[in-house]
A = this chain, B = another copy of it.
Amino acid sequence: MSTSKVATMHDAIAAIVRDGDTVAIEGFTHLISFSAGHEIIRQGRRDLVLARMTPDVIYDQMIAAGVARKLIFSWLGNPGVGGLNAIRRVTEGDHASLELEEYSHFGMVARYTAGAANLPFFPLRSYFETDLPVANPLIRPIESPYGDGTVYAVPPLKPDVTIVHAQRADANGDTQAWGLLGCQKEAAFAAERVIVVVEELVDEAVIRADPNRTIIPGLIVDAVVVEPWGAHPSYVQGAYDRDNRFYLDWDPISRDKAATDSWLAEWVHGLGGRAEYIEKLGSGRLAGLKPSAPAPSGSVDYGEYR
């Protein structure tokens, strides 16, 4: 309970992510662990099954780098910009080499929920009268035992590894996040192994002062990596904004395979880790991403009961 799980990103990925694993780096536009994705590229993992609701730029980069054989997802795009061009190169026409397993957003959330709850399936009202169950035979109809119709079911998704980024955790991995929470809790409970990357390592007392704010208990966490700015170019509520310029710049880069490869060479393979990445980005770039003003939540009282 009091043993520290704090590790470097290098050591955490080396010990926890294996070739062929199903890996979920979750976080819906918010708290995306680009840092973990880059380290997986750097360490040359292969044949990964990548799961994520919105593959986003990080999976475009990982797939461009050749770490994955399959993608499980619900929305494939560069949010607010356009397509994911590296992924399109391996999914369109006769070159289609990346295996796809496709759901809707609620279907992906329901899959993680079933995985976390050890359920053999999860029911939802989506998919009826659509072509999705044809495209993905794992989406199956199920009769209500109360004689009131049919709904669809999705199977549990239990990643070998789930990686989430959060504002803070203690050394045991007890993790707190605020802002958009996406499906990180469900994806973490569904996973065999969990890596938490945080902006700030805090004392256990900070976590225990607000137990309702905890989204993941250390009980299911294998490693805690402390990396400020580890979610750049995505954002961290209260810490930094999305670096939209990065998302815009990625579009032309990713359209050209050579440009993509040289970006990976310069920004991933050419760097030792997130510290060097941040230094290379430059303090000016980062300063422009800070919130314009603080917006404190205020404090509530749990009371001492002796």
Query: In chain A between 132 and 181, which residues have their CB closer than 8 angstroms to a CB of chain B?
Result: 140-142, 144-146, 148-149, 151, 153, 155, 167, 178-179, 181
Which residue on chain B has the smallest CB distance to residue A206? B298
In contact, A295 and B302 (Cβ under 8 angstroms): yes
In contact, B141 and A142 (Cβ under 8 angstroms): no
Bits for A295-306, please: 1 = Cβ < 8 Å to B, else 0: 111111111111
In contact, B299 and A296 (Cβ under 8 angstroms): yes
In contact, B125 and A123 (Cβ under 8 angstroms): no
In contact, A145 and B141 (Cβ under 8 angstroms): yes
Indicate if A241 sits at the interface (CB-CB under 8 A): yes
In contact, B295 and A237 (Cβ under 8 angstroms): no
Which residue on chain B has the smallest CB distance to residue A294? B301
List of B residues within 8 angstroms of A297 by Cβ: 209-210, 212-213, 299-302
Query: In chain A between 255 and 306, which residues have their CB closer than 8 angstroms to a CB of chain B?
Result: 291-306
Closest-CB distance, A148 to chain B (whole angstroms): 5
List of B residues within 8 angstroms of A125 by Cβ: 118-119
Closest-CB distance, A117 to chain B (whole angstroms): 8
In contact, B291 and A296 (Cβ under 8 angstroms): no
Which residue on chain B has the smallest CB distance to residue A290? B303
The listed residue (B146, B238, B305) touching A291 by CB distance below 8 A is B305
A148 to B118, CA, bound (A): 12
In contact, B151 and A295 (Cβ under 8 angstroms): no
The listed residue (B123, B153, B303) touching A237 by CB distance below 8 A is B303
In contact, A148 and B120 (Cβ under 8 angstroms): yes
Indicate if A81 sits at the interface (CB-CB under 8 A): no
Indicate if A189 sits at the interface (CB-CB under 8 A): no
A interface SS class: loop
List of B residues within 8 angstroms of A295 by Cβ: 209, 301-304
Which residue on chain B has the smallest CB distance to residue A178? B212
A124 to B149, CA, bound (A): 19
8 closest A-B pairs (Cβ-Cβ)? A291-B303, A120-B144, A210-B297, A238-B301, A293-B304, A140-B145, A238-B303, A295-B302
Indicate if A239 sits at the interface (CB-CB under 8 A): yes
Bits for A226-242, please: 1 = Cβ < 8 Å to B, else 0: 00000000000111010
Which residue on chain B has the smallest CB distance to residue A297? B210
The listed residue (B122, B123, B146, B151) touching A140 by CB distance below 8 A is B146
In contact, B124 and A123 (Cβ under 8 angstroms): no
Indicate if A121 sits at the interface (CB-CB under 8 A): yes
Which residue on chain B has the smallest CB distance to residue A151? B120
List of B residues within 8 angstroms of A237 by Cβ: 302-303
Residue from A123, A142, A295, A300 with most neighbouring chain B CB atoms (10 Å):
A300
The listed residue (B122, B179, B213, B241) touching A302 by CB distance below 8 A is B179
- A151 with B119, Cβ < 8 A, contacts A145-B141, A299-B299 known: yes
Which residue on chain B has the smallest CB distance to residue A122? B123
Closest-CB distance, A9 to chain B (whole angstroms): 24
List of B residues within 8 angstroms of A178 by Cβ: 212, 300, 302
